[in-house]
Amino acid sequence: MLTEALKGQMNKPFDLLLGRKTFEIWENYWPQNVNVWPEVNSATKYVASNSRTASQWDPSVFLGKDLPQKISEIKKQNGLDLHVC
């Protein structure tokens, strides 16, 4: 059961930083289950992957090489909270 604090966090706009394997699990699940956590579909998904470059689950950004530098740049941007999954 989700606590009220966690439910509140899940309903705020955010971006996600995901590993490729987690992304591949989620990209098939969440678009089909929008009633559970609709915000996850509109969040920008930053994906740590050298092998993937695109997905139908938008918005998704595949980071490729130089991962530490790219993550550092994302963290420096003004914007939404970045959740790491």
pLDDT in tens, 11-39: 788 999 999 999 999 999 999 998 888 89
Residue 34 belongs to some domain of the structure: yes
pLDDT of residue 37: 87
Residue 46 belongs to some domain of the structure: yes
Residue 2 belongs to some domain of the structure: no
Kindly tell me if the per-residue pLDDT of 56 is higher than 70: yes
Residue 69 belongs to some domain of the structure: yes
Supply angle C-alpha 42, 32, 55, rounded to 5: 60
Residue 57 belongs to some domain of the structure: yes
**Bridging pattern class, strands 45-48 and 81-84:** unpaired
b/e map 18-48, b = 16+ CB within 10 Å: beeebbeebbeebeeeeeeeeebeebbbbbb
Instruction: Give the total number of structural domains in the chain.
Output: 1
Residue 65 belongs to some domain of the structure: yes
Q: Which domain holds residue 46?
A: 14-84
Residue 64 belongs to some domain of the structure: yes
